[in-house]
Amino acid sequence: MGCGNSKVLPEASKKGYVSVVQSLVVFSKRHEGDEPKKHKEKRRGPWFSNSDDGPRPTSSGRQQFTQRRERDKAASYKDTFEPRVTARYDIKALIGRGSFSRVVRAEHRATRQPFAIKMMEVAAPRGREVCASELAVLQRVNHANVIQLIEVFQFPRRVYAVLELATGGELLDRVVSRGHFTERDATRALQMVLAGVGHLHNLGVTHRDLKPENLLYYHPGADSRLLVTDFGSATFGGTLAGSEVSKTGEQPGEDRSWSLRTTCGTPEYMAPEVLLRKPYTCAVDMWALGVIAYIVLSGSMPFEDDNRTRLYKTIVRGKYSFHGNPWPSVSNLAKDFIARLLVSDPAARLTADQAIRHPWVVTMAAGASMRNLHRSISQNLRQRASRGSSRCPSSGDAKEKKPTAAAVKQSSWNESDALKPEGIRSISN
């Protein structure tokens, strides 16, 4: 969901028009490393297995049913797309949905290049606001580790945003599927995320909903870049003074440190100042990155409770620990990196530029033991997914879905859930 104080998208002409944000010719020049290597990778077992026996056999009938269902969904959504969009893109499958949007996988008819198309409903004022906020951000960003906007089709009731298609899966899915994961692997991933987030902050953008499922690999290859995605909650503002804002007409060193106030995001990743409804800055993204780093290294969450009131109290107090596996095997530098991000005082938190220069990240965990953390991470994710809490599926569901989606996706935020500085609000379920 989007949030923030955004400008309302003006009504387009009834005929519709196409706004080319980035030409397809330029886009066809891949970022360095985008072409996956051709060698065969050793296949791993299911997410909860530590064996190398390979994946479980899948039913061909189930695969055919799934493919047929995807084709049927694609056909039904294709009929709702504007002819000018379908004339250029072949709609293949529905891959996601939100309050005001649907996302489909599509193929450019001339180049056969795959893309994602986000269809956003803008007839209602709230839909226009969300759309305007997201597009305002996407039209500014240009970084290898941030999802790229290709072009926009605008019509009176709908806007279609053509985006890069990330096919490599979520960050934690990659961690689990590899079968071998060390601190060095974690620093590689976090370097890319920090580079993307640093680019956003330098542009004056605060993401406000960073979490593992919004970090996607561009392709399945081991050398794929990692992308920051989902800008439905992103907005301009909250940037720290002195940031270089190279694409907004601002001069380096100019003060863009005004605070944000709208409450949004995913509860387990929210910074204390957001829960307390205090004015906040882009430092909230750095808190979320601290939570993500904790999860990537352990498969567990630093702040977790089925009771929201207790959860929020724990976050506001900044109470977490490095107990249990695999933390005894994790280096002190890695723990220091997390501790400098999960700081209750936002002014004391590392910025993106400082975090990417932290010794643990710069040296790529050179001083760590390089012990394989995969077993503990997978076990922790599986235990969390099978607990049967209100935010997790049953153990039966966990067998059908990848563990990371089951284990880390959290409940949605509700404005009434915010805390007051003097205490905890009553939460109605």
Task: Give catalytic residues, as residue numbers.
Answer: 209
Distance CA 261, CA 240 (A): 15
End-to-end CA distance of the chain: 20
106 touches 88 (CB < 8 A): no
Q: Which string of b and e fits 186-222 if b means at least 16 CB within 10 Å?
A: bbebbbbbbbbbbbbbbbbbbbbbbbbbbbbbbbebe
CA dist., res. 224 & res. 35, Å (int): 8
Do the Cβ atoms of 408 and 213 come closer than 8 Å? yes
| CB-CB contact of 300 with 384 (8 Å) | yes
**Amino acid making up residue 180:** H
Q: Which H or E run contains 335?
A: helix 332-339
Stated as kind and residue range, the H or E segment containing 384 is helix 374-385
* Residue 118 marked ligand-binding: yes
Q: Which long-range contacts (CB under 8 A, 24 or more apart) does 83-92 make?
A: 84/16, 84/18, 84/153, 85/117, 85/153, 85/160, 89/115, 89/117, 89/162, 91/117
Q: Can you tell me whether residue 188 is helix, strand or coil?
A: helix
State the residue for tokens 């026996």. Answer: 53
Tokens standing for residue 301: 């969450």
Cα distance between residue 69 and residue 65, in whole Å:
6
How is residue 351 annotated by DSSP? P
Q: Which two tokens stand for residue 124?
A: 């209602």
Residues at the annotated binding site? 118
Residues at the annotated binding site for ATP? 118
